[in-house]
Amino acid sequence: VPDAPGLELIRGEIEGDHPGAVLDTSFDRGQAVLVVDPEQVLAVLGWLRDAPGQEYTFLSSLHVADYLPATPRFGVHYELLNRDRVERLRVKAMLSDPTAGLPEIDSCVSLFPTAEFQEREAYDFFGIVFRGHPDLTRILLPEDYVGWPQRRDFPVGGEPVTFTYNERAYG
């Protein structure tokens, strides 16, 4: 993991090549995070992968979190790993929920082919549209499923369980 000053150095270098791309940084509990502009996420990821001295060549995970009620609401997380130095860096792009349609972000399959299935999973559960993805369809849920079940405002589903305790306590 780059330490906190190292993270600021990375931010400065990205600022030189892609001005305005990094919005914020955070270094918490030994984890370095770059919060980036969703429109420039591909530029940042490409820079981190290819720039000499960085070479975060391995995308170990791509996932989404729903931060409702915070705005912007969705965080797309890219967990990068440099396998020579065993350094991890998280890139986070915050997406707001549009009033109509689904939130969109550029697909990083062209940079990291492993992202193909992970972006499909993110689309499946959160309804994030990855622009330029070769085959953005549901991957785990049935093809005809309606809704984005891992969003926080999605009902849990299932059936209420009636325990005798609940009946005694609440009638």
Partner 1 sequence: MQDRQLRARDMLRGDLEGEELERYVEERVVMTNLDKMLNWGRANSIFPLTFGLACCAIEAPISLVTARYDIARFGAEALRASPRQADMIILSGRVSIKMAPVVRRLYDQMLEPKWSMAMGACSSSAGMFSNYAVVQGADKFMPVDIYVPGCPPRPEAVLYGFTKLQRKIMGNPDPGWRRRYNAEGTEEWARGGPASTPSAVEAEAYERARELIGA
Indicate the residue among 28 and 159 with the shorter CB distance to partner 1: 159
Identify whether the C-beta of residue 83 lies closer than 8 Å to the C-beta of residue 166.
Answer: no
52 lines the binding site for partner 1 (CB under 8 A): no
- H/E segment holding residue 111: none
The residue type of 99 is T
Indicate the residue among 28 and 143 with the shorter CB distance to partner 1: 143
3-state secondary structure of 171: coil
Please count the residues of this chain forming the interface with partner 1, following the rule CB under 8 A: 14
- Min separation Cβ 156 and partner 1, Å: 6
Identify whether the C-beta of residue 34 lies closer than 8 Å to the C-beta of residue 41.
Answer: no
- Min separation Cβ 124 and partner 1, Å: 11
46 lines the binding site for partner 1 (CB under 8 A): no
Burial 110-120 (b: 16+ CB within 10 A, else e): ebbeebbebbb
Site string for partner 1, 129-158 (x = CB under 8 A): -----------xxx--x-x-x----xxxxx
- Give, as ranges, the residues between 68 and 107 that touch partner 1 (CB under 8 A): none
Question: In the chain, what's the furthest Cα-to-Cα distance?
Answer: 68
Q: Which residues bind partner 1 (CB under 8 A)?
A: 140-142, 145, 147, 149, 154-161
